[in-house]
Structure 1
Amino acid sequence: MNTSQTLNTLFSPKSIAILGASNTAGKSGAVPIALLLEAGYAGKIYPVNPRQDTVYGLPCHASLGDIEDAIDLVIIAVPASHVLAALEKSRPGQIANAVIFTSGFAEVGDAGVQLQQQLQAFARERRIRLLGPNCLGFINVRQNTYATFSPAPFNGRLPAGDVGMVTQSGAFGAYAYCLARERHLGLSFWISTGNESDLDVADCIQWLVDDPDTSIIMAYIEGCKDGDKLKRALSAANLAGKPVVVTKIGRTHSGAQAAASHTAALAGDDVVYDALFKQYGVIRAYTIDEFFNIGQALSKWPGRPANQNLAIISISGGVGALMADEADENRLSLPAPPEEVKARLLARIPFAGANNPVDVTGHALTDLSILLDTSRDLLGTGNYGALAIFLAAAGSSETLWPYLQELVHVLHAEHPHIPLTISALLPDERKNVLQTNGAMVFADPSVAIRTLSRIMLHRPAMTPGQNDERPHVSLPEGSGALNEADSLSVLKKAGIPVTPFAVANSASEAQTIARQWNSPAVMKIVSADILHKSDAGGVKLGICGEQAVLHAYDDILSSVQSQMPQAKIDGVLVAPMCNGGVECIMGVHRDPVFGPVVMFGLGGIFVEILKDVSFRLAPFGRDEALSMIHEIRATALLSGARGRGPADIPALADTLVALSRLAYDQRDQIESIDINPILALPERQGVLALDGLIIRNRIA
């Protein structure tokens, strides 16, 4: 089904039936009716309960089939064992969508899984779209559609806005609703997906991408079962220019286990999610406070800042320095103001700090025009993408308050697209006034800087490079590991440079091969049964001279046959020793949700000890590969360090692209690829894979 079309009637229903309707305030069958009536929902409401004549003054129906009209949405609030039977009383084609509050399905074990599968089968047969079960429902804020049993809206409604929020956790969803209300953050939609028997978080993100009233998407994710669908939704958001902010739990082993036990979701490997978010332009928030700070900032300033330059004005030199440190750690620039701007400030406060951060000192509080004039001077240069102001406790001053309102009003009117933060201690009502008028207010100036950095550094995702001429590569038939010679041959066909080599089946043949190169030889056992060749005595390095080659060949076979007598031997690989360059590692593993994931890092201790690696989902283009390379902490070794020249980074990026395309094209055949080491040679000399291992998918 085309989700974006079929969900119109779900999220903007003109008629709603409540199955399990109740007159008892607080019950899940009563809350949505009370909310709909109180909010002034304009559509038709049909309570359904065979034991009631009226519910909240509305005529009550004994079953869905007793309702003559077609129904856009059925809200289900009856026990799990009664859900399917109640739905079966509807007429074919009568119901378009259902929101299922009821728990007791897949999240409780095998019996619940069977109930959920039966429900799914019936819904598919009747072409009914399902949200839930075990979900808190949704709210369409603009149309006053409260298809939820959360009591949170009774304590205050949200303003309509441009932020669409979707969460896999109902409890978090209710909490997030309250936080959004406290912050006066306007929402377009609020959606809880629960067990995701049909519609999942990716469907809802896609719906919000297509919704003209939604500009920002905030998502709380515990896991994903359809990686391709989530990638398509995030890609659509990126193409539509709608930023996505995500909080993803399960970053640690214990966190992942908690997620799985809570919702039967697959939390997955967090490094894969992290790669997904980086690759698709998603802003990841690591705390709830950060989640809302970023979402609110994006809603307030939807256009991307013109640059990554930040201006800081402080009444405290020390706090200004603290904010500068935070800006530097978060990759924001602090260019000094032009000389004429400095001169104007110093003419008024000779002891001011005129660089950036600008220290207007406490004197600015006695001459209230200084703060506004300095702010206007800085922003008027066009050099700064955002402005952060620190006022300490002076923000609560009765004398300063009218001026502070004027400051925010004027700056927002003159520069509506430039983010402005005020760090000060303010009562909630005054904080809300300033935020309504165009600023964001923080008690902690470091949090202000971190929030600004997330929106200032956010850029659209890179699109995978296209290459219609890439080589077609096929793998040898079978499953399991390929031997090293076959692995290197496949890599070479895929456009990955590999070391020259040949396979010898006798000592004399090894001698003949070694004569080809005017360098010492490397000799390695060739066997798909031996993945760790060194452990079996199957590797000899730096072999010089024909007699040494002869002895090395015999030693390798003798050692391997002694230690692994059952291994099938395909010969001995002979290759020239390669020195110089920087040893790197590239690899691929097939994630069960998102498919092939490519890894890059520096070889040796950087992988084994520091785990200094980066990841991306295949396929990707050259720009993404370069980003991947520069992401690792030890990238300075590739750029040239301690007197060494730079490595051939462009060739390294091209090799990563080729590896990603091989992994993606053969995603149904390849389980993993390991290229370790791959040598990044000096600038303009390319790269060379010295060892490779491809493992094909096991045949079930």
Structure 2
Amino acid sequence: MNAAVNPGGLDALFRPRSIAVIGASDDPRKIGGRPIRYMLEAQSQVKVYPVNPTRPQVQGLTAYPTATAIPERVDQAIIAVPARQAEAAVADACAAGVRSIVMFSAGFAEAGEEGAAAQARMMKMIRDAGARLLGPNAMGSFNTAERIFSTFSTAMDRGTPAVGRVGMVSQSGAVGSYLQNLVISRGMAISKFVATGNEADVQAAECLEWMALDPDTDVLMLYMEGCRNGPALIRALRMARQMRKPVIVFKAGRTEAGQSVAASHTGALAGSVQVFDTVLREAGAWSCQTLTEMVDVAYACAQGRLPPDKTLAIVTVSGGVGVMSTDAAMEAGIELPPVSEATLAEIQKELPLAVGLNPVDTTAQTVGDRAMLTRAVERVLRDRPFGSAMLFFANAGRNARDMEILSEPLRALRAEFPLTQLALCVQTTPEYRKQLEDLGYLIFEDPVFCVKALAAAAELSAVRRRPLMLPELAKIALLTLAHSPDEAQSKEILARAGLRFARESVAATPDEAVAAAEAMGYPVVIKVLSAEIGHKSEVGGVALNLTNEDAVRAAFARVTDNAGRAVPEAEIRGVTVGQMITGGIQTIIGGHRDPTFGPIVMFGLGGIYTEVLKDTVLRTAPVTHETALEMIRSIRTFAILDGARGQERADLDAIADAIVSVSQFIATQGPEVESVEINPFIALSKGGCGVDALIHVRG
């Protein structure tokens, strides 16, 4: 078996040469007996040492009273004892010099403060010994190629799993075991599996990175409920992308209620779903909404043939399937380029009722001769290159005569179009399904699921072709602020970071406000100035379109009085007098420090749109100018910026420059700077400028 160079010291977890099972059971159905049974059934070459002080033998193997009594040093210890005995078992394993511990035992951090304290004590012993811990409360891991089964997963009850190329990482043992069965039932085979449990030490991201570097693994599946180490997950996803391995992710806890359940289940806090999705998308992973989708997408990737582009051909015997497949393709962002009229005419010579340029509906005319159907497919695929093709053959897979007729033409199609990912949407028997898969076809029963899986595979293929571009950090001075600055101070700081703002002056008195307005030129805007008042309009602290001295004096008194009554404890420095910007489109540009993933930059339409539509987009910071433009174009309301209904088109490059500057600012600051916001940034037809800014400092 090929050796891999892997980080994190996890070889002792996935590739131990000897294993002590502490709490070994002679009953092969019990948790302490299952890993022994699995490795015996698999005829594993790994040395297994049962540890049980009450038995001389366990399942035919010599047993030892303690791990330290084993006559040679062992790589790994599996701990399958009750929680009250776990600390002693860990001490025994550490004294025996193990390099990894797989702890099935539960009742620790997931069970409350007392359990968390016990978990912390065990971790200190393990770290002092220089070992790694999987768990506690972990289902374990396995390696099919080397027949190492450090797990009690009930999925093994169907027999020793075949050696495969799909790596699976799950934070939940039960979900992981369920996924194993779904994957195997779908016709795939697993290379490595791990369920991480409480993640007191080894975390899902580390396992994902290990598998990304594993030469025996081609496709990666990740089930997550929470993430403690965002940078580690980003590093793992980037490593998988660098190694050209598709990553399919299911993130549970997408609602506030779901996140609460996830936290109680794993002992981990679930991060912002939108930030999590952003990280996955940027790294090129596919985010799934259901376990079915997760398995379908992995299946579409596991064959090893990914679509060369996002074009799809659909040939069907049903007009209704053509309609629903088209809907699915449009929703998934996959293209349906039409074949030529000449090709359709050729098809119609044999099938006169055939209609459509893509989908091509052959109708029920092929029931009597299925060879006509494959000839239609051949003509479609010869018309122009397609990345994928979905062929809806209805119930043909259940008919022995149909399969006899289709077998050779399908083999010829596969040979003629080796780069196109071919999927058959057909009801069939397990035997015929296996035959078709062996020919190189993906098999689905639901056309919508088929199209979605092909679209995901096409996107994952596109990711493999795109280089990962990481911007360099700009040289921006690190702030050392004791408290959050007010608006004027925030603008001064951000201006040094490259942001443009409307002309503005600070005025402590009405006379100073009038002098500033006259020097600037009317009309002007007056806003109360206080670090304690972030949203000035909500307290009556803003006055717009002031056109003369009297209006300025009245506005000064009004906004400061309003703010003083609304926030009595606020320190008011006076007001800002600013240039009144007319026209343009209000946008919002912000940055914040996510507790899991670090610096994040945000863009969307500003003003009322921010709260009402919640149409914003996130990226990890910093971003390039190209990424900033992509952010702008990806909001749902981009048409407003792009000159909808005859309006002036906003200067997208000016907005992108501002996004880049904000992203560089939040990325270069220390953890004390929690967020920065420019709302609004007025996008003009030429250029743009911020008219309000806020920097929030921790504490």
- Same-fold call, TM cutoff 0.5: yes
Inter-CA distance 103–642: structure 2 relative to 1 (3 Å threshold): same
How far apart are 1:400 and its partner, in Å? 0.8
Cα separation, 1, equivalents of 2:214 and 2:382: 36
| Maintained 8 Å contact 2:340/2:357 | no
Q: Equivalent residue for 1:279?
A: 282
| Maintained 8 Å contact 2:355/2:362 | yes
In structure 1, list runs of 5 or more residues that go unmatched. Answer: none
Match for 1:413: what amino acid? A
| Maintained 8 Å contact 2:41/2:160 | no
Picking from 109, 112, 126, the partner of 1:109 is 112
Picking from 360, 363, 366, the partner of 2:365 is 363
| Maintained 8 Å contact 2:487/2:531 | yes
| Maintained 8 Å contact 1:586/1:676 | yes
> Is residue 2:173 matched to residue 1:170?
yes
How far apart are 1:448 and its partner, in Å? 1.0
Picking from 369, 381, 393, the partner of 1:379 is 381
Q: Equivalent residue for 2:477?
A: 473
- Range that drifts further, 369-378 or 14-23: 369-378
SS, match of residue 153 in structure 1: helix
How far apart are 1:35 and its partner, in Å? 0.6
Q: Equivalent residue for 2:691?
A: 690
Inter-CA distance 565–194: structure 2 relative to 1 (3 Å threshold): closer
> Is residue 2:332 matched to residue 1:327?
no
Picking from 530, 533, 547, the partner of 2:533 is 530
> Is residue 2:246 matched to residue 1:246?
no
Inter-CA distance 558–37: structure 2 relative to 1 (3 Å threshold): closer
How far apart are 1:436 and its partner, in Å? 3.5
Inter-CA distance 101–408: structure 2 relative to 1 (3 Å threshold): farther
> Is residue 2:662 matched to residue 1:659?
yes
SS, match of residue 99 in structure 2: strand
How far apart are 1:329 and its partner, in Å? 2.3
How far apart are 1:465 and its partner, in Å? 4.5
How far apart are 1:467 and its partner, in Å? 4.3
How far apart are 1:282 and its partner, in Å? 1.1
Measured against aligned partners, the alpha-carbon deviations of 1:17-55 in whole angstroms (never above 9, x if no partner) come to 111111113111111111101101012111111111011
Inter-CA distance 409–605: structure 2 relative to 1 (3 Å threshold): farther
How far apart are 1:87 and its partner, in Å? 3.1
- Range that drifts further, 212-221 or 516-525: 516-525
Measured against aligned partners, the alpha-carbon deviations of 1:200-235 in whole angstroms (never above 9, x if no partner) come to 000100100110111111000000111111111111
How far apart are 1:624 and its partner, in Å? 2.6
Picking from 567, 570, 573, the partner of 2:570 is 567
Match for 2:290: what amino acid? T
- Range that drifts further, 673-682 or 623-632: 623-632
Q: Equivalent residue for 1:392?
A: 394
SS, match of residue 457 in structure 1: helix
Inter-CA distance 563–173: structure 2 relative to 1 (3 Å threshold): closer
How far apart are 1:519 and its partner, in Å? 3.8
> Is residue 2:150 matched to residue 1:147?
yes
Cα separation, 2, equivalents of 1:623 and 1:328: 25
| Maintained 8 Å contact 1:499/1:688 | yes
Cα separation, 2, equivalents of 1:382 and 1:667: 54
| Maintained 8 Å contact 1:345/1:354 | no
How far apart are 1:346 and its partner, in Å? 2.1
Measured against aligned partners, the alpha-carbon deviations of 1:153-188 in whole angstroms (never above 9, x if no partner) come to 121333222110000000011111111121121211
Q: Equivalent residue for 1:629?
A: 632
SS, match of residue 641 in structure 2: helix
Q: Equivalent residue for 1:410?
A: 412
Cα separation, 2, equivalents of 1:467 and 1:590: 18
| Maintained 8 Å contact 1:590/1:672 | yes
How far apart are 1:612 and its partner, in Å? 1.4
Inter-CA distance 537–409: structure 2 relative to 1 (3 Å threshold): same
Cα separation, 2, equivalents of 1:91 and 1:307: 52
Match for 2:448: what amino acid? S
Q: Equivalent residue for 1:438?
A: 440
Match for 1:478: what amino acid? A
How far apart are 1:140 and its partner, in Å? 0.3
Match for 1:379: what amino acid? L
> Is residue 2:617 matched to residue 1:604?
no
How far apart are 1:420 and its partner, in Å? 1.5
Picking from 47, 72, 76, the partner of 1:73 is 76
Inter-CA distance 448–358: structure 2 relative to 1 (3 Å threshold): same
Cα separation, 2, equivalents of 1:152 and 1:407: 38
Inter-CA distance 442–526: structure 2 relative to 1 (3 Å threshold): same
Cα separation, 2, equivalents of 1:127 and 1:694: 43
SS, match of residue 510 in structure 1: helix
- The alignment's TM-score, normalised by the length of structure 2, stands at 0.95
How far apart are 1:548 and its partner, in Å? 2.2
| Maintained 8 Å contact 1:491/1:498 | no
How far apart are 1:255 and its partner, in Å? 1.0
Measured against aligned partners, the alpha-carbon deviations of 1:585-608 in whole angstroms (never above 9, x if no partner) come to 122233221123222211233222
How far apart are 1:5 and its partner, in Å? 5.9
Cα separation, 1, equivalents of 2:480 and 2:94: 55
How far apart are 1:340 and its partner, in Å? 4.1
Cα separation, 2, equivalents of 1:134 and 1:173: 13
Picking from 154, 157, 161, the partner of 1:158 is 161
How far apart are 1:558 and its partner, in Å? 3.5
How far apart are 1:302 and its partner, in Å? 4.3
| Maintained 8 Å contact 1:465/1:622 | no
CA RMSD of aligned residues (A): 1.9
Inter-CA distance 70–230: structure 2 relative to 1 (3 Å threshold): same
Q: Spell out the pairing of 1:546-565 with structure 2 (5 A cutoff).
A: 546-565=549-568
Inter-CA distance 57–330: structure 2 relative to 1 (3 Å threshold): same
| Maintained 8 Å contact 1:26/1:151 | no
Match for 1:618: what amino acid? A
How far apart are 1:611 and its partner, in Å? 1.4
Match for 1:534: what amino acid? S
Aligned-residue sequence identity (percent) comes to 37
Measured against aligned partners, the alpha-carbon deviations of 1:489-514 in whole angstroms (never above 9, x if no partner) come to 12211112111111012222222221
SS, match of residue 383 in structure 1: coil
Cα separation, 2, equivalents of 1:296 and 1:320: 23
Cα separation, 2, equivalents of 1:476 and 1:267: 30
| Maintained 8 Å contact 1:279/1:624 | no
Cα separation, 1, equivalents of 2:93 and 2:390: 59
Match for 2:123: what amino acid? Q
Match for 2:216: what amino acid? D
| Maintained 8 Å contact 2:471/2:622 | no
| Maintained 8 Å contact 1:482/1:528 | yes
| Maintained 8 Å contact 2:505/2:576 | yes
- Range that drifts further, 343-352 or 206-215: 343-352
Q: Equivalent residue for 2:430?
A: 428
Q: Equivalent residue for 1:351?
A: 353
How far apart are 1:471 and its partner, in Å? 4.4
- Range that drifts further, 136-145 or 562-571: 562-571
| Maintained 8 Å contact 1:76/1:100 | yes
Measured against aligned partners, the alpha-carbon deviations of 1:326-362 in whole angstroms (never above 9, x if no partner) come to 2122222211213443332122223211511111222
Match for 1:448: what amino acid? C
Inter-CA distance 440–581: structure 2 relative to 1 (3 Å threshold): same
Q: Equivalent residue for 2:649?
A: 646
Cα separation, 2, equivalents of 1:215 and 1:637: 43
Cα separation, 2, equivalents of 1:186 and 1:407: 28
Cα separation, 2, equivalents of 1:645 and 1:211: 53
| Maintained 8 Å contact 1:47/1:61 | yes
Picking from 503, 524, 547, the partner of 2:506 is 503
| Maintained 8 Å contact 1:17/1:48 | yes
Measured against aligned partners, the alpha-carbon deviations of 1:457-501 in whole angstroms (never above 9, x if no partner) come to 333277455346x3423435212x321101111221111211111
SS, match of residue 495 in structure 1: coil
| Maintained 8 Å contact 1:168/1:194 | yes
Match for 2:471: what amino acid? Q
Match for 1:321: what amino acid? V
> Is residue 2:261 matched to residue 1:258?
yes
Match for 1:357: what amino acid? P
How far apart are 1:527 and its partner, in Å? 0.7
